[in-house]
Chains A and B, each alone.
Chain A
């Protein structure tokens, strides 16, 4: 995840080229496509941020997002996360009243891979899957953009540009 190999710059250029190629193929079908990528504007003091997107697997085989990297000038680390609702411990009667009202805890977990079946779209959205950005180098400012390098099991690496916004596009 924290790859800072000497060949990084070359790899980056190569990835950018791949991204352009992928973009050029858009609409042709049969590709793994990332769209609507955005990151939430972060409060000035926040150390963590989140990015969201739609990943559509137009290929004939299942694929999986297995890693994400980000320029250290943006954040120290990027991880694939999932927010899940967990049932509250039923240690008092109070909680039963909230059982059907979202009264459970929201828990965030890092996951190793996000599988996307052929023909399916994985939605990375608030309260679900997201790319967590840790140790932000500076606040994510509305209107700016950040680049994320997504690594897929089959499709390889795809660089996506995420727009920083207050809410989903």
Chain B
């Protein structure tokens, strides 16, 4: 879940005071180097190493325009794969993100856009998806494709899986899906991933860290 711990176990090094001192110095030096890098703010969500690069992924959005998976300059794009007939998991996450954005200072929140890719293009039209998102967000991008290979490619870039429940035509069905939220920066790098149930407070903290870093 977290950035690998920096631990030299300096105090447990057996032997003379001199070697202990050396170990401690080394650990301190390491910490200084890491601090100096400065591009890895302490994040509460899951950080992948190496991070996923998703700028090459694009899907059709409003007005038939392809939308690339990268944020506007200095901003963040939160990407989620779900569907609008999802009564439990999706609206819970959307509501949590919405609350996190409300908790942010307006100046920061307005640099965040939420994109939702439907894994249920059979029932979700782009209009329907946009209507759904509008319930939670003003800055939103609905994404949908009928091309199953294209959807599969986009999902694979994120490691997203989904599975449509067997059903008769016209019958209601559920779609099992990966329920992570991917936080993407303006280079198309996934900076942090939030699992289902991640608190809105922690979401807000992660967005604040990343947005402040982007500003500096």
Residues of chain A whose beta carbon lies under 8 Å from any beta carbon of chain B: 40-50, 81, 83, 85-86, 88-89, 92, 94-95, 97-98, 100-109, 126-127, 130, 132-135, 166-167
Contacts of B198 in A (CB 8 A): 102
Q: Is the CB of A102 within 8 A of B95?
A: no
- At the interface, yes or no: B58 with Cβ under 8 Å from chain A? no
Contacts of A85 in B (CB 8 A): 196
A44-B131, A94-B159, A167-B95 given as contacts; is B85 within 8 A of A105 (CB)? no
Contacts of B91 in A (CB 8 A): 40, 42-43, 46, 50
Which of A95, A101, A107, A134 meets B176, CB within 8 Å? A107
Which of B48, B95, B179 meets A106, CB within 8 Å? B179
Q: Is the CB of A127 within 8 A of B85?
A: no
Nearest A residue (CB) for B176: A107
- At the interface, yes or no: B152 with Cβ under 8 Å from chain A? no
Q: Is the CB of A40 within 8 A of B193?
A: no
Q: Is the CB of A108 within 8 A of B180?
A: no
**10 A–B contact pairs at CB < 8 A?**
A44-B135, A47-B85, A81-B88, A98-B46, A102-B197, A103-B193, A105-B176, A105-B179, A108-B87, A108-B174
Task: Give the CA-CA distance A83 to B176 in the complex, in Å.
Answer: 9
Contacts of B195 in A (CB 8 A): 101-103
Which of B88, B99, B163 meets A105, CB within 8 Å? B163
> Which residues in window 63-110 of B have CB below 8 A to A?
84-89, 91-92, 95, 99
A105-B163, A127-B196 given as contacts; is B132 within 8 A of A83 (CB)? no
Contacts of A102 in B (CB 8 A): 46, 179-180, 193, 195-198
Which of A40, A127, A132 meets B95, CB within 8 Å? A40
Q: Is the CB of A83 within 8 A of B89?
A: yes
Task: Give the CA-CA distance A135 to B196 in the complex, in Å.
Answer: 25
Contacts of B85 in A (CB 8 A): 46-48
Q: Is the CB of A46 within 8 A of B132?
A: yes
A46-B132, A103-B178, A105-B162 given as contacts; is B87 within 8 A of A97 (CB)? no
Contacts of B84 in A (CB 8 A): 43, 45-46
Closest 10 CB pairs of A and B: A102-B195, A43-B135, A107-B176, A101-B46, A126-B92, A48-B87, A50-B87, A106-B179, A105-B176, A108-B174
Q: Is the CB of B176 within 8 A of A49?
A: no
Nearest B residue (CB) for A139: B135
Contacts of A97 in B (CB 8 A): 48, 159
- At the interface, yes or no: B172 with Cβ under 8 Å from chain A? yes
Task: Give the CA-CA distance A50 to B94 in the complex, in Å.
Answer: 14
What's the least CB distance linking B170 to chain A, in Å? 12
Q: Is the CB of A133 within 8 A of B87?
A: yes
| A43, A50, A81: most-surrounded residue (chain B CB, <10 A) | A43
Task: Give the CA-CA distance A46 to B136 in the complex, in Å.
Answer: 13
A88-B161, A134-B172 given as contacts; is B128 within 8 A of A50 (CB)? no
- At the interface, yes or no: B1 with Cβ under 8 Å from chain A? yes
Task: Give the CA-CA distance A46 to B88 in the complex, in Å.
Answer: 12
- At the interface, yes or no: B111 with Cβ under 8 Å from chain A? no
Contacts of A88 in B (CB 8 A): 161, 178
Which of B88, B132, B196 meets A108, CB within 8 Å? B88
Contacts of A126 in B (CB 8 A): 88-89, 92, 197
Task: Give the CA-CA distance A95 to B48 in the complex, in Å.
Answer: 11
Q: Is the CB of B95 within 8 A of A101?
A: no
What's the least CB distance linking B66 to chain A, in Å? 24
What's the least CB distance linking B24 to chain A, in Å? 31
Task: Give the CA-CA distance A88 to B162 in the complex, in Å.
Answer: 9
